[in-house]
């Protein structure tokens, strides 16, 4: 596939050396990423039988289309893949109509979430109404069974096991089992979504990085904390992330933590499928020296009107329902996603997915971390030459 994108990559090299890039590097990095994602996901949508002429047409479109148009097309391409994934998960987990009819004649059993931690009480979680939300029945499959069935249907799944990165801090890594084509959505970054206005509620704020290696920030400033999600679970449940046990490497309860001043925000409960085989992006490692990444991030805005798909999007927002403007970040603005049918804004969940930058087959998933704070860069970190 490399030759199909050579012309565009040469253009990126020229752009990166320009004085404008030095002044607005974050903006142009975002634009360059969208351009690449446009190429990768558009080619993926053509399928494995695409010809070289198809690729050349996509490259030509990438050179002519505006950033706004490319963003819309990337969203459509990614959303199409996510829709297919959710359909596979429904096929794997939902009961057939006969079983549903039998259940409809039986009394519904309300679900009582686990007892909230002190954090949950402080941020206002678990209202009486939420305590009585019924959990829909799904097939009694273990997470490993769900993962294998997804591989059978989609061609690939994910596994977390010891990393092959040769340094002692690598720990666990993320591995793809099967084959995924270039432009495939490989993984979701799970966890709690924090707009900039709520950063102070992250445990350990403002020094959160040394205590939590499972934080990532989108271009618009939305931060995702995957620590509460951990390795997922074995059921579909009303996920109360505030009751998740704290990992050993986080600060102790008597140390100064997040700014919990009694404000009633944060305790949102969502019905999520904890057996999601793709909700492991937080285990992807940075490539070692001499290695290259095989995925890149995409800030995917999931439209909340897609209620049937919602259990498979492994994220919950932190905060109450009041609108927070996260469209402005740094010195530039990001476009909010709009429906194709009209210009009205669609309510979205600001998530993040990993997209394959080449074909991946039975190997470790590697993501360029793009660390920029020189004070906190670990000794094992080697910058990736993105011109390669």
The mean pLDDT value for 85-107 works out to 75
Q: How confident is the model over 200-245, as pLDDT tens digits?
A: 888 777 776 666 778 899 999 999 999 999 999 999 999 887 765 5
Question: Whole-angstrom Cα distance, residue 37 to residue 49?
Answer: 20
Dihedral of alpha carbons 337, 340, 346, 352, sign: negative
**CATH number, domain containing residue 154:** 2.170.270.10
Q: Find, among 260, 258, 177, 182, the residue nearest to 225 by Cα.
A: 258
pLDDT at 251 over 70: no
pLDDT above 70 covers what percent of the chain? Answer: 68
Mean local confidence (pLDDT), 131-146: 84
Strand partners, 353: 188, 298
Domain-located, residue 162: yes
In the predicted model, what is the mean pLDDT of the chain? Answer: 78
At which residue do the structure tokens 């505030």 appear? 242
353 in a structural domain: yes
Q: Which residue has the higher pLDDT, 183 or 261?
A: 183
Count of structural domains, the chain: 1
292-323: per-residue pLDDT in tens? 999 999 999 999 999 999 999 999 999 764 44
Task: Establish if 357 belongs to a structural domain.
Answer: yes
CA distances from 46 to 167, 188, 327, 357 (A): 39, 22, 31, 15
Instruction: Identify whether 122 is part of a domain.
Output: no
CB atoms within 10 A of CB 343: 7
Peptide bond into 206 cis (omega under 30): yes
Q: Is residue 112 part of a domain?
A: no
| Residue pointed to by tokens 């009107």 | 305
Query: Dihedrals φ, ψ of 164, to 5°?
Result: -95, 0
Q: Are 143 and 232 within 8 A, CB to CB?
A: yes
Taken in order 161, 234, 351, 115, is the CA torsion positive or negative? negative
User: Residue 55's pLDDT band (boundaries 50, 70, 90)?
Assistant: confident
Q: Is residue 210 part of a domain?
A: yes
**Is the pLDDT confidence value at 114 over 90?**
no
What is each CA distance from 213 to 102, 225, 247, in whole angstroms?
A: 46, 9, 11
Beta-carbon contacts of 165 under 8 Å, excluding residues fewer than 6 positions away, are 173, 285, 286, 287, 288, 291, 364
**pTM beyond 0.85, yes or no:** no
State the Cα–Cα distance between residues 209 and 285, nearest whole angstrom. Answer: 16
Is 157 a member of any domain? yes
Q: For residue 310, tell me if it sits in a domain.
A: yes
Which of 254 and 170 is assigned the larger pLDDT?
170
Q: At 191, is the secondary structure helix, strand, or coil?
A: strand
Q: Which of 75, 17, 29 is nearest to 338 (CA)?
A: 75
Query: What domain range includes position 148?
Result: 1-93+138-244+266-325+345-364
Print burial letters for 97-125: b (CB count within 10 Å at least 16), e (below 16): eeeeeeeeeeeeeeeebeebbebbebbbb
């Amino acid at each position: 596939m490399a030759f199909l994108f050579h012309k565009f990559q040469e253009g990126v090299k020229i752009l990166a050396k320009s004085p404008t890039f030095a002044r607005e590097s974050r903006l142009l990095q975002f634009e360059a990423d969208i351009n690449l994602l446009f190429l990768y996901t558009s080619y993926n949508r053509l399928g494995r039988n695409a010809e070289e002429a198809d690729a050349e047409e996509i490259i030509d479109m990438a050179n002519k289309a505006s950033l706004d148009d490319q963003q819309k097309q990337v969203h459509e391409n990614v959303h199409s893949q996510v829709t297919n994934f959710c359909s596979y998960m429904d096929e794997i987990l939902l009961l057939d109509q006969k079983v549903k009819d039998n259940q409809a004649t039986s009394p519904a059993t309300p679900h009582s979430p686990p007892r909230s931690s002190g954090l949950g009480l402080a941020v206002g979680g678990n209202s009486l109404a939420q305590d009585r939300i019924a959990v829909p029945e799904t097939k009694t499959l273990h997470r490993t069974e769900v993962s294998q069935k997804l591989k059978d249907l989609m061609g690939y799944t994910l596994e977390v096991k010891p990393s092959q990165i040769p340094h002692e801090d690598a720990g666990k890594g993320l591995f793809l089992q099967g084959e995924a084509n270039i432009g495939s959505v490989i993984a979701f970054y799970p966890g709690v979504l924090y707009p900039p206005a709520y950063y102070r509620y992250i445990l350990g704020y403002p020094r959160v990085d040394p205590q939590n290696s499972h934080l990532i920030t989108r271009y618009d400033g939305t931060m995702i904390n995957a620590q509460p999600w951990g390795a997922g679970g074995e059921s579909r449940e009303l996920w109360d992330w505030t009751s998740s046990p704290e990992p050993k490497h986080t600060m102790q309860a008597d140390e100064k933590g997040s700014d919990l001043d009694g404000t009633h925000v944060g305790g949102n409960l969502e019905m999520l499928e904890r057996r999601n085989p793709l909700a492991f992006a937080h285990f992807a490692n940075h490539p070692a020296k001499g290695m290259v990444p095989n995925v890149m991030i995409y800030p995917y805005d999931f439209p909340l009107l897609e209620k049937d798909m919602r259990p498979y999007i492994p994220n919950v927002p932190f905060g109450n329902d009041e609108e927070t403007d996260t469209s402005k970040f740094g010195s530039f603005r990001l476009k909010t996603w709009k429906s194709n049918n009209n210009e009205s804004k669609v309510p979205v969940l600001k998530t993040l997915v990993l997209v394959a930058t080449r074909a991946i087959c039975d190997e470790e998933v590697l993501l360029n971390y793009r660390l920029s704070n020189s004070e906190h860069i670990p000794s094992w970190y080697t910058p990736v030459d993105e011109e390669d």
